[in-house]
Structure 1
Amino acid sequence: MAQSTSRARFVGDYLVGKQIGSGSFSVVWHARHRVHGTEVAIKEIATGRLSKKLQESLMSEIVILKQIIHPNIIRLHDIIEEPGKIHLVLEYCRGGDLSMYIQQRQGRVPEAKAKHFMKQLAAGLQILRENNLIHRDLKPQNLLLSKNDDNSVLKIADFGFARSLQPRGLAETLCGSPLYMAPEIMQLQKYDAKADLWSVGVLAPFCFSL
């Protein structure tokens, strides 16, 4: 349960700090555990404003994040619920997202580092496929970095559009970000997990050439 005083606000055992992000139905806060000081990101979602479909997507995202534990997938530490809200306590990535990382370096990302990021992205996608999952919204803003330096680890985040997809299964929902969306999705055709690979193909020159 969220608690607040004149000096501090707590969500469960976490002391809430500054806002670090926001979306249509959510706000993301930096926070620390009140006892051991672990830094986390708390995604506060106003469930009362979600449609039935968005509520189902949220529950699916939670199931996926509980299921997958991997260095290149964002970690879900805890879930804290209260009336009208749900808080996802997530791994905090100090380095921000991949888009910010490249912009901060004026697009000058060494080839070796860009290859390293792509290998980490591939490792994250491999574990998703091993668990019959498709992400469907791979883009620089959904690829987070653990640190703001050259030793950063890339982590796939934001599984709101992700779903289970068996090896020979097909999806047909139009979703994702147009710049990184596979042609078959934009053409309202059925598609499989290779749609994620198209997004990776669009991401690669973004890493290497900005």
Structure 2
Amino acid sequence: MAGFKRGYDGKIAGLYDLDKTLGRGHFAVVKLARHVFTGEKVAVKVIDKTKLDTVATGHLFQEVRCMKLVQHPNIVRLYEVIDTQTKLYLILELGDGGDMFDYIMKHEQGLNEDLAKKYFAQIVHAISYCHRLHVVHRDLKPENVVFFEKQGLVKLTDFGFSNKFQPGKKLTTSCGSLAYSAPEILLGDEYDTCNYILSLVVHFAPLLKMFFIFGVCL
């Protein structure tokens, strides 16, 4: 189902019926949708192109570019991109168990250690895979990890701040969520993929009510 198609507003390209809203951002809304012919449920990120400035347009280009590149069991799939005059639709794999933030809020005492390790390992695999392809996510946080309970998986999503990087070359753009950022990013210093170790620690500490220590770079 991967591809790039032009469509029209309403019933997207005659292929998807939009349903309830699942989430909302500055320039986009994420909606539940159903494929007209197969009945398959998907998540659709609807971007209003009329509200995008130059920077936001660049981020959108990189998001689509990186999501088309990554294909991993622990990364939400981008099925296709549908373009209209005023909107861009990203047709995405739909999770069935909410996001990690909500999950943490419902388990304030922490999780079983084995279960937490299982989820942690899956996100590490996803991030490591991205880095091997020279893709950096740059917005790792609980809200961007989605549960697929029927598959027994968690998957990384929202590549809105992602970008390609050159091995051995530092990154300079400060972006993502401040609460999960490394000090170098907060200070506006150069950084590399090793700085995302701290994001992983801050991200998953609430699951076990403890901190992890790493000695390797993903």
Structure 1: tracts of 5 or more residues without a match: 5-9
Give SS of 2:47's match. strand
Question: For residues 33 and 170 of structure 1, do their structure 2 counterparts lie closer, same or farther at Cα, with a shift above 3 Å needed?
Answer: same
Q: CA deviation at 1:47?
A: 1.0
Mapped to 2, the partners of 1:152 and 1:101 lie a distance apart of 14
Moved over 4 A (4+): none
Matched, 1:188 2:188: yes
- Contact kept, 8 Å, 1:95 with 1:152, in 2: the verdict is no
TM-score, normalised via structure 1 length: 0.91
**How high is the sequence identity, in percent, across the aligned residues?**
33
- Contact kept, 8 Å, 1:73 with 1:156, in 2: the verdict is yes
**What letter matches 2:86 in structure 1?**
G
Of 41, 44, 47 in structure 2, the residue corresponding to residue 45 of structure 1 is 47
Aligned pair count reads 203
- Contact kept, 8 Å, 1:135 with 1:196, in 2: the verdict is no
Q: CA deviation at 1:60?
A: 0.7
Match of 1:29 in 2: 31
C-alpha offsets along residues 38-84 of structure 1, whole Å, 9 cap, x if unaligned? 11000000011011111011011101111111111110001111111
TM-score, normalised via structure 2 length: 0.88
**What letter matches 1:193 in structure 2?**
T
Match of 1:84 in 2: 86
C-alpha offsets along residues 69-120 of structure 1, whole Å, 9 cap, x if unaligned? 1111110001111111100000001111101122233444211111001000
Question: For residues 41 and 167 of structure 1, do their structure 2 counterparts lie closer, same or farther at Cα, with a shift above 3 Å needed?
Answer: same
**What letter matches 1:34 in structure 2?**
V
Matched, 1:208 2:208: yes
Give SS of 2:96's match. coil
Superposed CA RMSD in Å reads: 1.5
Question: For residues 85 and 107 of structure 1, do their structure 2 counterparts lie closer, same or farther at Cα, with a shift above 3 Å needed?
Answer: farther
Q: CA deviation at 1:133?
A: 1.4
Give SS of 2:159's match. coil
Structure 2: tracts of 5 or more residues without a match: 1-6, 211-218
Mapped to 2, the partners of 1:123 and 1:80 lie a distance apart of 29
Give SS of 2:31's match. strand
Match of 2:197 in 1: 197
